Structure 1
Amino acid sequence: MEDYGQDKAGAAGASADAAAPSEPVEDLSVQCLRAHTSAVFAVAVNPAQPHVFATGGGDDVAHLWRLGSEAPVAALRGHTDSVSSVGFSADGSYLATGGLDGAVRVWAADGSLVVLLEGPTQGINWVCWHARGHVLLAGSEDATAWMWKVPEGAVMQIFSAHSASVSYGGFANGGRSVITASEDGTIRLWNPRAGTVEHCTHASPPHEPEAVTCLAPHPSQAVYLFGVESGAVKIAHAESGKLLASLPAHEDSVEAASFCECMPLAATGGMDGKLCIWDLNTYGLRHTCLHGAGVIEAVWRRGSPLVFSCTVSKEVRLWDARSGACLNTLTGHTDAVLCLAVGYPEAGAYLVSGSDDNTARVWALDV
């Protein structure tokens, strides 16, 4: 989840200078895509056509790409501020782009504009499609989240109870609930039909609120994971909102959280340079995977205990969560790597990354 653009770039910039290598590194990517003229904040792979992916950047443009092509299939223009998030619908027929201009645009597979979704009054932090239909959710800096029906563009619900930017969100409980997290220090579970708050969880004591810095609903279980600025990580029940465990390990802002699909494992990444692997059966720390600088995102390989991390130190690493071993280090970017996505075409899986160096890169995966 990524939310994003500005937050990621700011977090990266905080320690990028300290992490800069003294000599150029080998470029291990198989493609370097240079259509953007500013940082690439978001990437996504089409789940139905995995050879197609999208990028969004600080140049106010999103691009559609086909694997193996050096030029984009289409340039998606119309946003008047950074494209902070991109996401394909589950059936691959639509691509949504969210911009810091407050607009969400939905595009067809050929890059033509389907509908402009309006409503939020400030920048869009994230977009998220429902897993079983053309329902799109987005969170805004104006403290609201919105849900639309596509392609009609009809507003289905407005979620308004936060007092600050809705930085993260998505669907939980098998798609039956909406979950949002905010800079106001709360995580809220919503009834999507009524638009009412079912549960509100405070990330820290209410008299000392901390911004929620990452959120991950489990893809199949009724739990979610979140992190905050101070380095605290917590897991909670997505039906009751009850806190199940606090997971102490990080010493700085937690920027990434994600669940493994095939094993009871989760990963969190922080600006302390740690990728922490958690055992969900015991809520214990299984491994601490050390990086040279802050971890910005962590993405699991589908159906596998392997997890990718991207960092301020310009690299992507692949880890085996069972052993904590680093299996590969992917170098080539010349600035902080801000986002990752994995594609699974029949010819072999690949990783696409976006960076503060204004490029996206494609990496062939051997494992």
Structure 2
Amino acid sequence: MDSERDLNLEYADGQPGEEEFLDPESALVEVPDIDGEYDDHPMSDASSDTGEGNEGIDGEEMQEEVDLSNNSLTYFDQHTDSIFLIGVHPTLPLVITGGGDDTGYVWTSNSVPPKLVTKLTGHTDSLVAGGFSPDGEWIVTGGMDGRVRLWRARSRGQKWEFMSSIEEVEEVTWIVFHPSQPIFAFGASNGSAWVYSLTPRLESLCTLYGHTEGQPCTAGVFLPAFMPAAEGDEEEINLLTTSDDGSVISWSVPAGVQNYKVTSNIFHYEAPWINLSLYPSGTSIAIGSADGKVAIVGTKSGSVIATVDVLGATGKTDMPEEEQSVEGIAWSEAMGVLAVGLVAGVICIFDTGSWRVRRTLDIGDAVTKIEFLPASTELITSSMDGTLRKYDVRSGELLWKGTGHSSGILGFALADKGKTVITASDEGVALVYK
């Protein structure tokens, strides 16, 4: 390994990273430039790009239309299957990805090409959940094998040492970290949720059973404390979980008791809850269903503030059942709107005062994730057509498109205060955009 190589952990705007976290010798490998061109590397089959192997019966070359556009900065292609997990370090230009190849990687997002820092092994099925802890000291991964594995930063982040593994469930469905306490929670396919301390041996705090057994616990989020802690007392910790059975439960941790439970009959319809988004102040939460509805719930009492019919707002009430699912929810901190994206390829922008639709954005293919840039009205979207888009929701104007993937984008992460977007794709490639 070239000991003279400079990793140079600085963001594009010149703001310094913390170079002491990584040095040149800590990077395991530099990802090779396959084609020698990083500014225009098409994510498509090589034979399609060159025309080789496309001859007709009479020996005449068949013309195949191939989209060669790629405006990404660089790419990471060490995965051999779809990428399901993607996350960024809270302070450094480091990315974690995990995929259907049962493997995770930690790599740099500010270098061209990226540099591989750590390979995360030990799972026997797809990595689907996890990431860096809010303090950047831990990595937790969860897989479809039911395993949860823990790594800890060493030498100020130059290396990541495997610490512990647990296997309590058949399949992990999600992992979330508490924003200020050294704990995390994960959900399981059997309807349970589990809370652990971030310690080298993964100490269990509580196991939560309240959703219908056998129906997956689909999402979770730590809620802000309902009451400020008295001097000398520990901070109140609350976890909200959702399920395929249509229920929502707020839990008191580590006591493991329910603060409240909202059942499907209170929402006046039954549908699996599949994702959620906490309002920036933490006072309410938006929960999306598999049949095109969003419920707004007060986090302190569990009161249902509003139920929004996203499907009706699109005007496409006859769309197939498989296209009705709410795949993305995002609150804007800059204006009073909530964005909701459907598998049908439509994003509705709702006014949070009246819950009426302000505008509709037609993506054209299944929406996989949406997120507002920090303190902005600009919305980043990803979809199964392999494209990132940035819209100004005030005007509905398309401001930018990120291209380069040859198959669907399954998710993305924002880094460097929203100046960098990193994708996770179905083709097993992550692209980095500015």
* Superposed pair shares fold, TM > 0.5: yes
Q: Does 1:59 align with 2:108?
A: no
Name the residue aligned to 2:263.
202
Q: CA deviation at 1:139?
A: 0.8
TM-score (norm 2): 0.74
The 3-state SS of whatever aligns with 2:222 is strand
Distance in 1 between residues matched to 2:406 and 2:354, nearest whole Å? 39
Spell out, residue by residue over 1:303-352, the C-alpha distance to the aligned partner (whole angstroms, 9 max, x if none).
Answer: 2221111111111111112222221111111111001110017xx82100
Q: Does 1:145 align with 2:215?
A: no
Q: CA deviation at 1:242?
A: 1.2
What aligned pairs does 1:111-260 form with structure 2 within 5 A after superposition?
111-116=160-165, 118-152=166-200, 153-163=202-212, 164-174=215-225, 176-203=237-264, 209-250=270-311, 251=317, 252-260=324-332
Q: CA deviation at 1:221?
A: 2.6
1:349 is aligned, of 409, 416, 419, to 419
Spell out, residue by residue over 1:9-55, the C-alpha distance to the aligned partner (whole angstroms, 9 max, x if none).
Answer: xxxxxxxxxxxx96425111111210100000111011122x11111
Q: Quick check: 121-130 or 105-114, which moved more? A: 105-114
Q: CA deviation at 1:215?
A: 1.2
Distance in 1 between residues matched to 2:359 and 2:223, nearest whole Å? 27
Distance in 1 between residues matched to 2:346 and 2:264, nearest whole Å? 21
Instruction: Give the CA RMSD over aligned residues.
Output: 2.0
Q: Does 1:84 align with 2:128?
A: yes
Name the residue aligned to 1:97.
141
Q: CA deviation at 1:119?
A: 4.9
Question: Which consecutive segments of 4 or more residues in structure 1 shift more than 4 A?
Answer: 203-208
The 3-state SS of whatever aligns with 1:219 is coil
Contact map agreement 1:64 1:111 (CA 8 A) in 2: no
Spell out, residue by residue over 1:253-274, the C-alpha distance to the aligned partner (whole angstroms, 9 max, x if none).
Answer: 1111122234332221111211
Contact map agreement 1:215 1:227 (CA 8 A) in 2: yes
Distance in 1 between residues matched to 2:394 and 2:352, nearest whole Å? 13
The 3-state SS of whatever aligns with 2:160 is coil
Q: CA deviation at 1:277?
A: 1.7
Q: Quick check: 166-175 or 134-143, which moved more? A: 166-175
Return closer, same or farther for 1:283/1:22 CA change in 2, 3 Å cut-off: farther
Distance in 2 between residues matched to 1:144 and 1:192, nearest whole Å? 14
Contact map agreement 2:267 2:304 (CA 8 A) in 1: no
Distance in 2 between residues matched to 1:86 and 1:121, nearest whole Å? 16
Distance in 2 between residues matched to 1:194 and 1:108, nearest whole Å? 27
Q: CA deviation at 1:113?
A: 1.0
Contact map agreement 1:35 1:71 (CA 8 A) in 2: no
Distance in 1 between residues matched to 2:148 and 2:65, nearest whole Å? 41
Q: Does 1:361 align with 2:420?
A: no
Structure 2: segments with no counterpart, 5+ residues: 1-63, 154-158, 226-235, 312-316, 318-323
Distance in 2 between residues matched to 1:300 and 1:150, nearest whole Å? 29
The count of aligned residue pairs is 340
Contact map agreement 1:120 1:142 (CA 8 A) in 2: no
Q: Does 1:274 align with 2:353?
A: no
Distance in 2 between residues matched to 1:257 and 1:220, nearest whole Å? 16
TM-score (norm 1): 0.87
Name the residue aligned to 2:51.
none
Distance in 2 between residues matched to 1:136 and 1:40, nearest whole Å? 22
Q: CA deviation at 1:207?
A: 8.9
Q: CA deviation at 1:114?
A: 2.5
Contact map agreement 1:235 1:245 (CA 8 A) in 2: yes
Name the residue aligned to 2:67.
24
Q: CA deviation at 1:193?
A: 2.7
Name the residue aligned to 1:9.
none
The amino acid that maps onto 1:77 is: T
Distance in 1 between residues matched to 2:355 and 2:148, nearest whole Å? 37
Higher strand proportion (structure 1 or 2): 1
Spell out, residue by residue over 1:272-323, the C-alpha distance to the aligned partner (whole angstroms, 9 max, x if none).
Answer: 2111222222222222111111101112212222111111111111111222
Spell out, residue by residue over 1:62-86, the C-alpha distance to the aligned partner (whole angstroms, 9 max, x if none).
Answer: 1001121434211100111100013
Distance in 1 between residues matched to 2:77 and 2:326, nearest whole Å? 30
Return closer, same or farther for 1:277/1:176 CA change in 2, 3 Å cut-off: farther
Structure 1: segments with no counterpart, 5+ residues: 1-20
The amino acid that maps onto 2:181 is: G
Tell which has more relative contact order, 1 or 2 (C-alpha 8 A, sep 6+): 1
Q: Does 1:283 align with 2:355?
A: yes
Name the residue aligned to 1:34.
77
Spell out, residue by residue over 1:230-251, the C-alpha distance to the aligned partner (whole angstroms, 9 max, x if none).
Answer: 1111211111111111222335
**Structure showing greater Rg:** 2
The 3-state SS of whatever aligns with 1:244 is strand
Distance in 1 between residues matched to 2:175 and 2:384, nearest whole Å? 24
Distance in 1 between residues matched to 2:267 and 2:301, nearest whole Å? 19
